[in-house]
Amino acid sequence: MAEVVLFHHAQGLTPGVRAFADELRGEGHTVHTPDLYDGHIFDSLEAGLAYSDRIGVEEIIERGARAVTDAPAELVYVGFSLGVLPAQKLAQTRPGARGAVFVHSCVPSSYFGSWPSPVPVRVHAMEADRLFTDEGDADAARALVDEAADGELYLYPGDQHLFADSSLPSYDAGGAALLLDRTLAFLGSR
- pLDDT tens, position by position, 81-98: 999 999 999 999 999 999
Q: In terms of C-beta density within 10 A (0-12 exposed, 13-18 middle, 19 or more buried), how is residue 115 classed?
A: buried
Per the confidence metrics, is the pTM higher than 0.85?
A: yes
CATH class for the domain made up of 3-188: alpha beta
Dihedrals phi, psi of 59, to nearest 5 degrees: -70, -40
- The whole-chain average pLDDT of the chain stands at 97
Q: Can you give the pLDDT at residue 107?
A: 97
Q: Can you give the pLDDT at residue 189?
A: 87
Return d(Cα 162, Cα 171) in angstroms, integer.
7
Determine the average pLDDT of the residues in 143-149: 95
- Give the Å distances, CA to CA, from 46 to 67, 154, 174: 25, 26, 25
Return d(Cα 190, Cα 95) in angstroms, integer.
15
Predicted confidence band of residue 64 (pLDDT cuts 50, 70, 90)? very high
Q: Can you give the pLDDT at residue 169?
A: 97
> Could you tell me if 102 and 140 are in contact, meaning their C-beta atoms sit under 8 angstroms apart?
no
- pLDDT tens, position by position, 101-135: 999 999 999 999 999 989 999 999 999 999 999 99
Domain borders along the chain are 3-188
